[in-house]
Amino acid sequence: MQQTLDEQTGIFLWSFVLGAVLGVIYTLLAIARAWSPPSPRQWIVGDLLFMAIAAMLNFLFALSQTYGRIRGYVLAAELVTFFLLYGTVGRLLCRSTLRIRSLCEQTVTWMTAPFRRQWHTLRKKLAKKCRKMLRNGKKS
């Protein structure tokens, strides 16, 4: 079944939207990685999961819009939008996430410093008393 130029233009524009959605999903995955760095195994599983989601979305898009045919212009529009979004907004969000994380860690460290000092002093006193009790217990 042939598609008209008008239909192809609409599909082309919707493929930009799909590329942007995939870029947002990968940006969220990158932000999660920046906030809590994963192990290499978790990194691979996350990327494989993203690829499976992207393949499924691409398949459903092709099935609903192009009667299951893969079109080059659809893939090109998705890739261009994905890389533009992730390369600009995604990188900016990841960098700001690292700064926000660092700021949160510094704030928590500053706010808990007095309590940590008191805890350290209390631990030293308890350790000293425990050592004294153990020495007294061995003598009897």
CA 51 to chain CA centroid, nearest Å: 14
Q: How far does the chain reach from its first CA to its final CA, in angstroms? A: 97
Q: What is the value of pTM for the model shown?
A: 0.67
pLDDT in tens, 20-73: 999 999 998 888 888 788 888 988 998 999 999 999 999 999 898 888 888 889
Q: DSSP letter at 37?
A: P
Sketch the domain layout of the chain as residue ranges: 5-139
pLDDT in tens, 113-125: 888 889 889 999 9
Question: DSSP H helical segments within the chain, as ranges?
Answer: 5-35, 40-65, 72-85, 91-139
